[in-house]
Structure 1
Amino acid sequence: MRSTIPRTPIIATVAAVAAALVLSACGSSGPGADGSTDGKGGEVALRVPDPGNSGFLAKGKKDGSLDRALAAVHAKVVWTGSAGPFAPAAQALNADQLDVAQGSITSAIAALAQKPGFELFAQIAPDEAGEGILVKNGSPIKEVKDLIGKKVAVSQGGTSEYLLLKALEKNGIPADQVQRVYLRADQTSGVFNSGQVDAWATWGAFSIPAIANTGAHLLVDGRAIGSDNYAVWAVRSRFAEQHPEVVKAFYGYLHENGAKEKADPAAYLNVFTDAGPTAVSPAEQQIAVEFGRQRAVDSPITEADSARFAVVAAFYADQGVTKAKVDVKPYLISINSLGGDAK
C-alpha cells in the first residue's frame, strides 16, 4: 500500500490521506479524456490521478516538468480524480476513465482476480519502514501474539489485510484467532483513535499521521513481517498497446524523480501549501523524511520481482483472500521491450 508520497509503501503524507477519498472524479476530465488525442495538435492525453500536495508528481504538476517530459513523445498529462486506494483506481482503468495508477501488488492481485483491463509496468520494492501494524502507545499489545482475541482494522484484499495475515503467519497464529474489522483506509483513523479496534494494519499514508499526532507506534513494520508488498504502477491495457512510447516516457520520469525524492524527501513535502488539511505538519515531516530516505526507487519489473509477486499470489490463495492463485506474469510489461533505454 510508497506513493508523491502517493506511494503505497511510502505514501508518506497527510496529503495522500486526504487523497484517499476514492477516484470519484474519474470520469471524463477535459481534453483527451478518451485516452487518445486532445484535438489540439494531436497530443496523447495521459490521465493520471491527481497527486495532492506532496511527492515528486506533485512537484511535476507544479513546475510542469512532467508535461515537458511527455511532450518529447507528443503527450500531455491530464490530472483526474485523486491518488487513493487502488481498488477504485483499477475499476477506473477497466472502465477507460484513467490511464495509469499506483497501488500495491496485494491490491493489484485482488483486482487481477476479477476481469482486469490493466497491466503492471513498474515496481517499488516493499516499504520496510512505513507499513505495519499500529497500536496505541501504552497498549497492552506488546507483540504479535497479543493480537489473539483482539480486533484489527484492515482494508479488505489489499495491503493492510496482507500485513496482518503475514504477521500472524510469521508468528504461527491462526488467522481466525484475530478478528478482522473491514474498513476503508481513509475511514479508519477515527475508529482506531476511539478504541473501537485494538490495532490497525496500514501503510505510510496513514501510519505517519497516526504516529505523529495520535500517540501510536508500529508494533511490527514491513521488515519484521517479511513483507513482499511491492508498490506497482498499472497502465490501462489498451493505452499501453496504443501508446507504448508514452508509457516508457512516463516510466522514465518516475524513475528519475523517484531517485531525487529519495535523496531529499523534505524538498517534496507541502509542494503547493504548508497550511490547511492537506499540509504535512512539522511532526509528520520528521517521520516522512525518515521513512522517505528508506524508500526504494521506481524501477522495471524483473524476473526476481515477478517471482515475489507469485509468492504473494500464492499466499493470498492459501489465506482465502482470492478463490484461486492469480497468475500475475501475463499482466507484466517489460519496460525494456517498449523501445529506448530503460534505467
Structure 2
Amino acid sequence: MIKHAISLVSLLAVTACGTAQGSAETQELRYQGSVGAVTFPELAEDLGYLAPVKLKWIGNTTSGPQDIQAAATGQTDFGGAFNGAVVKLIAAKAPIKAVISFYGSDKDVNQGFYVPDDSPIREPRDLIGKKVGMNTLGAHAEAVLKEYLTRGGLTPAQIQQVEPVVVPPVNLEQGLRQGQLDVAVLSGVLRDKAVERGGIRPLFNDVDLFGDFSAGTYVLTERFIERNPGTARKFVEATAKAIHWAQTHDRAEVVARFRQIIAKRARNEDTKTVGYWKSGGVAGTGGVIAPEEFQRWIDWLERAGDIEPGQVKAADVYTNADNPFAEEGTR
C-alpha cells in the first residue's frame, strides 16, 4: 500500500497543510478518527488541553498506513500508524516526522494471533502454507508475524509461503471459525468477545516477542512544523497530557469520559465498544518515544530487504522536542 503512495507523496507533499511564511499559524487541525473510539487528540481537546487550537474531523481512517499517507499528502494535518509503516513512508522520501507515541501493547492490550482449539498449529513452522487474517498489510500485524516466523527459524523462502490475508476486523473471527483462515489476528473488544465465545486459543501475541512497547506514532509533515511551530508544539503537548491523564486515572473514569465524548460529537456511534477499553498500551510517560521503538523496525525492514542498510536512521525519524514528559522518558 505504501509503495503505491510513493508517487502521490512526491507530487502532493508540497501541498501539505501550512500557512504562508510570515502569516498567522493555523489554529485548526484536520484529522481522521475511528468509529466508536476516542483518539488521544480528541481526549486532549475535550479536557481543554488543546485550546485555542481546534480539531476538524474529516472522516474515519481505514488503516494506519492510509492515515499517515493522508497526512503526508496534505489531506489531513496529522496521522498515526505503526512505527514500521512510518519508517517505510520516510524511506519513500515522505517529508514527515514522528512526534508522539499513541498506541502500544501491554498485558491488557495487545495483538494476539488466534487459532481454533483443535488446530494442529502449535509453532512457527506449522504456519507454512497457512493463511493469517489481519486488518491491513505493511503494518503492525504483518511485522509481528514475520518476526515470529524469523525467530522460529524459518528461511525467507519459507516465510513467503505464509500468506497474510487482509480481512475487515469485524470479519476475522467469523473467517477463523468457518475455516477460511488458519489464524486470525485479534485485539481489543473483538478479541475479548471472541475469547468469551470460546473455541479458540492464542498461538502467540506481540508482547510475547517484545514485552511492553509503544508501537505507533502520530506524524506531522516537516513543512507543517516549519510553518506552524506553535500549533505543532501545542498539538504534542496537549496529546501528551491527555495520554498521561489516561495513564494516571482510573479505568472507569477514562471509559466514562470516552462515552461522553462520543455522545457529544454526534456521529451516530455505539458507545459499547469503549466499555472494553483497558489501556492505551503506550509505554512512555505521556507518549515519549524511545529510540528502540523505531530501531527495532528499521533493523527488521533492513533484514527483510524492504529498505537499504543505513537508508533510515532512527534519530532522523522522530523527535520528543515538544513533549513535556521527555525528561521522564519511558516507563
Structure 2 matches for 1:311-326, cutoff 5 A? Answer: 311-322=296-307, 325-326=311-312
Counterpart residue number, 1:200: 184
Per-residue CA deviation, residues 251-288 of structure 1 (Å, 9 max, x unaligned), is 22222222332333343254425xx874435xx845x3
Counterpart residue number, 1:141: 121
Aligned partners of 1:182 and 1:161: how far apart in 2? 10
Q: Tell me if 1:168 matches 2:149.
A: yes
- Equivalent residue in structure 2 for 1:69, among 39, 49, 65: 49
Q: Tell me if 1:264 matches 2:264.
A: no
Distance 1:59 1:119, change over 3 A: closer
Distance 1:219 1:150, change over 3 A: same
In the TM superposition, what is the alpha-carbon distance from 1:330 to its structure 2 partner?
2.0
Aligned partners of 1:57 and 1:293: how far apart in 2? 9
Q: How many percent identity over aligned positions?
A: 19
Aligned partners of 2:297 and 2:25: how far apart in 1? 41
In the TM superposition, what is the alpha-carbon distance from 1:186 to its structure 2 partner?
4.1
- Equivalent residue in structure 2 for 1:220, among 197, 201, 204: 204
Aligned partners of 1:249 and 1:318: how far apart in 2? 37
Distance 1:341 1:243, change over 3 A: farther
Distance 1:247 1:202, change over 3 A: farther
Normalised to the residue count of structure 2, the TM-score between the two structures is 0.73
Counterpart residue number, 2:96: 118
CA contact (8 A) 1:93 1:117 kept: no
Aligned partners of 2:300 and 2:76: how far apart in 1? 29
Aligned partners of 2:104 and 2:302: how far apart in 1? 20
User: Aligned letter for 2:166?
Assistant: L
SS at match of 2:287: coil
Q: Tell me if 1:335 matches 2:321.
A: yes
Report which stretch shifted further, 121-130 or 164-173. Answer: 121-130
Aligned partners of 1:78 and 1:124: how far apart in 2? 19
Normalised to the residue count of structure 1, the TM-score between the two structures is 0.70
Q: RMSD in angstroms over aligned alpha carbons? A: 3.6
Aligned partners of 1:294 and 1:86: how far apart in 2? 16
Aligned partners of 2:227 and 2:244: how far apart in 1? 28
Counterpart residue number, 2:58: 80
Counterpart residue number, 1:109: 87
SS at match of 1:230: strand
Distance 1:315 1:293, change over 3 A: closer
CA contact (8 A) 2:105 2:282 kept: yes
Per-residue CA deviation, residues 141-184 of structure 1 (Å, 9 max, x unaligned), is 23444323322234322111111011112222335255223315
User: Aligned letter for 2:83?
Assistant: I
Q: Give unmatched runs, 5+ long, in structure 1.
A: 1-32
User: Aligned letter for 1:128?
Assistant: D
- Equivalent residue in structure 1 for 2:105, among 112, 127, 134: 127
In the TM superposition, what is the alpha-carbon distance from 1:217 to its structure 2 partner?
4.0
Q: Give unmatched runs, 5+ long, in structure 2.
A: 1-15
Structure 2 matches for 1:23-62, cutoff 5 A? Answer: 34-36=17-19, 44-55=27-38, 57=40, 60=43
Aligned partners of 1:121 and 1:293: how far apart in 2? 17
Counterpart residue number, 1:10: none
Counterpart residue number, 2:225: 240
Counterpart residue number, 2:272: 280
User: Aligned letter for 2:116?
Assistant: K
User: Aligned letter for 1:318?
Assistant: R
Distance 1:44 1:214, change over 3 A: farther
User: Aligned letter for 2:36?
Assistant: N
Distance 1:319 1:208, change over 3 A: farther
In the TM superposition, what is the alpha-carbon distance from 1:58 to its structure 2 partner?
8.0
Aligned partners of 1:335 and 1:141: how far apart in 2? 45
User: Aligned letter for 1:107?
Assistant: A
Q: Tell me if 1:151 matches 2:131.
A: yes
